[in-house]
Each structure stands twice: as C-alpha cells, then as structure tokens.
Amino acid sequence: MRRDVERAGVLTFLVLTIESFPLSRFSVPSVVRRFQGQIL
C-alpha cells in the first residue's frame, strides 16, 4: 500500500511539473527512469 501511495505522489508531481514546464517534456523520460529506480 505504501509503495502505491508513493507512486501516485510521484506521478502527480511529474504531471504537475510537465504542465508547469512544457519544455521539460524532453527530459521527462530520464526523470521517470530515475524515479522508477528509486521506487523499485
């Protein structure tokens, strides 16, 4: 349950970041990989 909550928080954070900074979409894949590495 705890990991699911953390994932939801991370996904929300990423979405808000992407919406706030459209130009950062190109760097999103690398950021997602970093978060996945930390979560997993």
Q: Domain extents for the chain?
A: 2-39
For 10, counting Cβ atoms within 10 Å of its Cβ (0-12 exposed, 13-18 middle, 19+ buried), the class is: middle
DSSP 20-34: H-GGGGGGHHHHHHH
- pTM for this prediction: 0.40
Handedness of CA 26, 27, 30, 36 (dihedral sign): negative
Summarised one tens digit per residue, pLDDT across range 1-40 is 688 888 888 888 878 877 766 655 556 677 777 777 776 5
